Amino acid sequence: MAYLFTSESVSEGHPDKVADQISDALLDNFLAFDPQSKVACETLVTTGQVVLAGEVKSNTYLDVQQIARDVVNKIGYTKGAYQFSGDSCGVISLIHEQSQDINQGVDRENKEEQGAGDQGMMFGYATSETANFMPLALDISHKILIELAALRREEKEITYLRPDSKSQVTIEYSDDNVPQKIVAIVVSTQHDDFDQDEKMLAKIKSDIINILIPRVKAQLPGYIQELFNDDIIYHINPTGKFVIGGPHGDSGLTGRKIIVDTYGGKGAHGGGAFSGKDPSKVDRSAAYAARHIAKNLVAAGIADEVLVQVSYAIGVVKPTSIYVNTFGSSKLNMTDGEIAEQVINLFDMRPAAIEKRLKLRNPIYSETAAYGHMGREPQTITKVFESPYSGKKEIEVELFTWEKLDMVEEVRKAFGFTEEA
């Protein structure tokens, strides 16, 4: 019997994502001026207020208030009507120095012997159902909101949009896990106030279905476009008006959208958030490394679906375990346990080795803080950072290194595998 699976996404203007973006902007600035910074920044946003908290060990000093304001303005909260604006909100910093008790377990004289920044388990996942090896429902949910934000900034076809929005996509699968059709799409978008409620709500629904969805569909390959159909159930702003939104409508906190950040409920999640944490925190770095492993295994043709789990003890260099699950989709005459043994030999999962392999001691994190940390396009860009205390700095960085398919041939060689075998 066919089954349904649903994933959601939230926009860059969602209050929790505002908090994530501020936390990662602070992290990037610390790393730009001191690459060895240890950072764990948390952000709270609410009506007219930004509260910064957390622990930092760094040789640089930042104007954290201005960095937070710049992020808020860039997202689009620039008007007094939003009750939250980068130019007028209060910014309170409660950031203090990192605990020496934690630091002693992480820093080592020999960098390669750096211990894990915390205990816990992290997961990476990949599936062959999309070109970027991401779950399809989540991939479409992200694309809907990315395109909605583009329409908001263009101010041409849809001129009433405000920054806060959410999406959700439900897909019907066959018993053999093949997507059959899109069953439902939910979009809730913040908008300007208006007088005629029913007339305007009808316009919003029409614009989403007739302007936004075709633009999203046009970006997708043909086999996914075919999943769109005339029977899709659309829920557009199902509660009615959505004028009060963003941090004025709901408070936002760093790390509350961990499923949106990863795999939309497919695979698994270890529970640790990403944003605001430097790569010594394996919550973040090991989750990226596990995605890198899973994606390269699927891309190499080892299996159609792979879940990788890695676990650590705080201050201990080597992982306490590495687990692989192919969900019965393996193309090899090997158990998942035997595949895991090869993975241990192929990928060095010590924290310092992960940092080096994926180039994580660079200011690359602001770009991850909205629309998912996984499934993104690797690229090299130049970023500019300015500080009233340290001047201006231009840095060339490589984004989303964990999405690179740079281990495919080594994986195939290690497993003695060819697609024809």
Is 250 marked as binding a ligand? yes
| Pairing mode of beta strands 90-97, 49-57 | parallel
pLDDT of residue 70: 97
Q: Please provide the size of the chain in residues.
A: 421
Residue 241 in marked binding region: yes
Handedness of CA 362, 368, 369, 373 (dihedral sign): negative
Interior angle at CA 240, CA 239 and CA 243, nearest 5: 110
Helix (H, G, I), strand (E, B) or coil at 191: strand
- Quote the tokens at residue 41: 């920044």
Each residue's pLDDT tens digit, 12-28: 999 999 999 999 999 99
CA nearest to 309, candidates 318, 296, 320, 297: 320
According to the annotation, is 400 in a ligand binding site? no
Give the residue carrying structure tokens 């009060």: 244
Nearest to 218 by CA among 206, 208, 228: 228
- The residue behind tokens 């499923």 is 259
168 assigned binding-site residue: no
Reading the block at residue 16, the tokens are: 């929790």
24 labelled binding-site residue: no
Q: Is 119 helix (H, G, I), strand (E, B) or coil?
A: coil
Q: For residue 119, how many other CB atoms are within 10 A of its CB?
A: 13
Question: Which regions in the chain score pLDDT beneath 70?
Answer: 1, 98-112, 418-421
17 assigned to a ligand binding site: no
Tokens 């190499």 sit on residue? 300
256 a known binding residue? Answer: yes
The DSSP secondary-structure symbol of 110 reads S
Reading the block at residue 329, the tokens are: 């989709």
3-state secondary structure of 298: helix
DSSP 8-state code for residue 221:
-
User: Can you give the pLDDT at residue 421?
Assistant: 43
16 is in an annotated binding site: yes
Instruction: Return d(Cα 117, Cα 165) in angstroms, integer.
Output: 34
Round to whole Å and give the CA distance between 264 and 125: 11
Structure tokens that stand for 348 in this block: 């060095």
Residue 273 is assigned to a ligand binding site: yes
**Domain architecture of the chain: domains with CATH:** 3-9+136-244 (3.30.300.10), 15-112 (3.30.300.10), 120-128+281-415 (3.30.300.10)
